[in-house]
Amino acid sequence: MPERTRFGRDGEEMGAGEMMAYARSVGSNDIFVTGRKENGNYVRINLERDRIIPNRIIMSVDIDSVIWVTRFPRFAKWLNIYMQPVIRKYAPIKKHNHVYIDVIYPPEEGKPNSTDVHARFKLSQVPHLFLGKVSEGNATANLYMHFPRMIHKHPHIRRFSNMVPWDLQGTLWEEVIIPAMRHVATPAELPYIGFNREELAFKAREKGEKRAEASYPFKPAQLTKFFEEINTIVSLIPWHCD
């Protein structure tokens, strides 16, 4: 047993390993209950006596989450695109996630060479919605679509409103998302995508689902064309503002 350091007239310093060895030698766990040895000496525990100096240290990194903000997303794996809006009580990012964006305002009318004015907003303050997700094992990555031009405060509570209205989401899916999905889908995939809201709601009722979140997986090459087609459609529809 390692040498112990005496302190006082009736005390003794021991490590946890030494206490366990002592308990085994006397056949009793009283030292852990009373803090004293059989000879009456008190025990002061010092865990530093059990320290181990490692010969090798292996370091690893555990990535809890990754937030990627981009106008041109690229993926290396299949990703599921929702075939109808996913409505929740709160916006997908309901709390500040410590990510900011800078929004640049257009030049003032009549002053094309004026200095650009920009403002910084929290990502959670920008109106956004669910667009897709990719799942692998226990890990899930969500894809959100943000609308910086819709940044505004609620007229009554004076807080930023980050939810996209239901009717606007429905219009977005019917006029932009579904047409873009059908544009990149193969002939064999077309029968499984492109349902309107009424058809999806009917299918959900048949299955007894309370909340339908129908989606369809697209491979990386299709996703790139899908996002390009979204930009093309938005640039051509009448309510788009350049």
| pLDDT digits 0-9 by tens, 95-118 | 999 999 998 877 777 666 656 678
Please say whether the beta carbons of 126 and 101 come within 8 A.
yes
Q: Work out the percent of the chain whose per-residue pLDDT is above 70.
A: 83
Work out whether strand 11-14 and strand 42-45 pair parallel, antiparallel, or are unpaired: parallel
Please give the average per-residue pLDDT across 173-200, as a whole number.
Answer: 83
- Res. 232 pLDDT band, cuts 50 70 90: very high
**Helical segments of the chain, H only:** 16-26, 30-34, 166-172, 178-184, 197-207, 220-236
**Residue 208 scores a pLDDT above 90:** no
Residue whose tokens read 């996209």: 164
Alpha helices in 27-141 (DSSP H): 30-34
Is 223's pLDDT higher than 90? yes
**Both structure tokens of 113:** 């060479």
pLDDT at 77 over 60: yes
- CB of 14 within 8 A of CB of 4? yes
pTM attached to this predicted model: 0.66
Please tell me which residue, 66 or 18, carries the higher pLDDT value.
18
Residue with tokens 């370091």: 59
Q: What is the phi-psi region of residue 225: left when phi exceeds 0, alpha when psi lies from -120 to 50, beta otherwise?
A: alpha
